[in-house]
Amino acid sequence: MTVAEAWQAGREHLAALGIDEAGITAEVLLRHALSLDRTALYVAWSRPIDPEGWARCQALLAERGRGRPVAYIVGHREFMGLQFQVDERVLIPRPETEVLVAAVLEALERTAAPVVADIGTGSGAIAVSLAMLRPDARVVATDVSSAALEVARANAARHRVTDRVRFFEGDLLQPLIAAGLHLDAVACNPPYVAPEAAGGLPPDIRDFEPPVAVVAPGGGESFHARLVESAPRVLKPGGWLVMEVSAGQAPRVVELLHRTAGYEVAQTRRDGLGWERVVAARRAGHEGTG
């Protein structure tokens, strides 16, 4: 069997199980099993496959067949052009969340040496990206999950930003309020699936991603509501609160901001599919233009 034939067999196996993106998934798993980058895979394409490598690939195909997400199988996922280590301790970073990072970067364009928080940091995707893309920034990141914080710390180390990213274990902004911090921006991609909707999630998410990262026990917008309420305690005047929302939630989160004293008019941003995905608002009280 050649490498090309192995890929073909893998793709057909996954497609027969109804798995999306069978071709690219088979390629990624084959490359992982054979420890080959893309170029090396094409160089090896018409050569015979090493039987041990094929056995490893078949084991990976079986894992994907049972629903385990590719990022957990291979142990990494790309976000903002950077590689992040991921496993079942953390949510797999999503492309939509890049819209959140872009919004934070834009909000801070005119702020020198900003201090930024990432609440519910998970893999550290947002915190580490912000530190990488704004070399003058300092980042503080929180999570209730000590297991997630281990992964986030490993990702900060991998990208050599440990000197500018500090991690705190605790509930939402609580550790930052306790530390008396004053921030230029608070970014958060909180859990936003209501408990009654959790059973209807796709099995890849429902059965493999950490429930604490996905489900909001108090209801879909409960974390957003708590952040809106408490962020003025850590934001500088003119500082930004930037939150990710699920498809359809933006109007309710904007409404929350309108009802809460101390914020300027909220803005929203759309993801690649056209959904309003990010809600940003500014703490009132700064000078100059908004």
Q: By the criterion CB under 6 A, which residues form the site for ligand SAH?
A: 91, 93, 97, 119-123, 125-126, 142-145, 148, 171-172, 189-191, 212-213
Nearer to ligand SAH, 193 or 256 (CB): 193
Nearer to ligand SAH, 25 or 123 (CB): 123
Nearest-approach distance from CB 225 to ligand SAH, in angstroms: 12
Distances (CA, A) of 201 to 21, 22, 192, 275: 19, 21, 12, 18
Supply the angle between the helices 51-65 and 3-16 in degrees, to the nearest 10: 20
Nearest-approach distance from CB 246 to ligand SAH, in angstroms: 12
Nearer to ligand SAH, 212 or 225 (CB): 212
Cβ contacts of 259 within 8 Å, gap of 6 or more = none
Nearer to ligand SAH, 168 or 263 (CB): 168
Phi-psi sector, 285: left (phi>0), alpha (psi -120 to 50), beta = left
Cα–Cα distance measured from residue 229 to residue 186, given in angstroms and rounded to the nearest whole number: 13
Name the pairing type of β-strands 76-79 and 183-188: unpaired
Nearest-approach distance from CB 173 to ligand SAH, in angstroms: 8
Residues 14/22, Cβ–Cβ less than 8 Å: yes
Cβ contacts of 155 within 8 Å, gap of 6 or more = 84, 85, 123, 124, 125, 128
Nearer to ligand SAH, 143 or 221 (CB): 143
Cβ contacts of 255 within 8 Å, gap of 6 or more = none
Nearest-approach distance from CB 243 to ligand SAH, in angstroms: 11
Cα–Cα distance measured from residue 20 to residue 69, given in angstroms and rounded to the nearest whole number: 11
Nearer to ligand SAH, 49 or 126 (CB): 126
Nearest-approach distance from CB 97 to ligand SAH, in angstroms: 4
Nearest-approach distance from CB 163 to ligand SAH, in angstroms: 21
